[in-house]
Amino acid sequence: MLTRLLAALLAVGVTTGAHGVVLGAEIKVLSIPFKGPLDRIGPQFERTTGHRLAVKYAPSAPLQKQIDAGAPFDVVLVFPTVVDQLIEQGKVTAGTRVDIARAGLGVAFKKGAAKPDIRTIEAFKRILLVSTSIAYAAQGPSGVHLIGLLDRLEIAQEVKPKLKPMSAGSLVVAPVAKGEVEIGIVSIPFILAEPGVELAGPLPRELQDYVHYSSGIGISAQDRNAAEAFVSYFGQAESVEVLRAHGLEVVGAR
């Protein structure tokens, strides 16, 4: 029985000390704002494995600067393109990228205000034209997609003067909650995480785009087994449930 228990612990990267006491590793995680899901998944993982997570959050660009400056990490949780760049730079181990989840884009409006109708392309286009101000993540993939949509819908000239650029997706919804901006367009998890706003709905299917979240294991990871155990934990049933509750679609899950 004890042998089977030790084998199970070793399978998730847990080691034992000189007196047989289970010792968990500390796993340093650098993550883009993924706090909502990790606030629930992290403690579950720690209780299950005995490992400890030390998570630091930052938008993609500042996070890249931290890594360039030599910030130590075992796991990064970022956009797939960033993981690929870090692999090319020799900072993330080749072959360790795992695509975890994706989030569609949605429209946020102030809680209690009239709900915008965005169910069709024409309805969404009309909302963009009548809204007085629109917050978006200027430096993120959702913002790039929105600018492309304005050109595609042939309303760029009318709408661009009303855009309120934010430096990160996590900053888009706060001004909507405060009533400073009428609507915000960003990935759905950011909308669900802000109690002062409501989700009008996802973008129409023909206009939809996704923000993808991937992980990679640092080339200098202190405990490779523990890092792999953490990444693998996102595929557990309880983790999938949490991710879905936060508006994320789990890659490969049914």
Q: Write the pLDDT tens digit of every residue in 40-87.
A: 999 999 999 999 999 999 888 889 899 999 999 999 999 999 999 999
**Same structural domain for residues 139 and 91?**
no
pLDDT tens for each residue of 193-205: 899 999 999 999 9
Calpha distance 134→123 (Å, rounded): 16
**Same structural domain for residues 134 and 95?**
no
Which residues constitute the domain of residue 205?
103-210
**Same structural domain for residues 28 and 11?**
yes
* CATH number of the domain residue 64 falls in: 3.40.190.10
pLDDT tens for each residue of 1-39: 434 433 444 444 444 443 333 458 999 999 988 888 999
Tell me the three state secondary structure of residue 124: helix
Q: Is the dihedral of CA 174, 175, 177, 181 positive or negative?
A: negative
Calpha distance 193→22 (Å, rounded): 35
Mean predicted confidence (pLDDT) in 82-100: 96
**Same structural domain for residues 111 and 199?**
yes
Q: If phi over 0 gives left and psi between -120 and 50 gives alpha, with beta otherwise, what is residue 45?
A: alpha
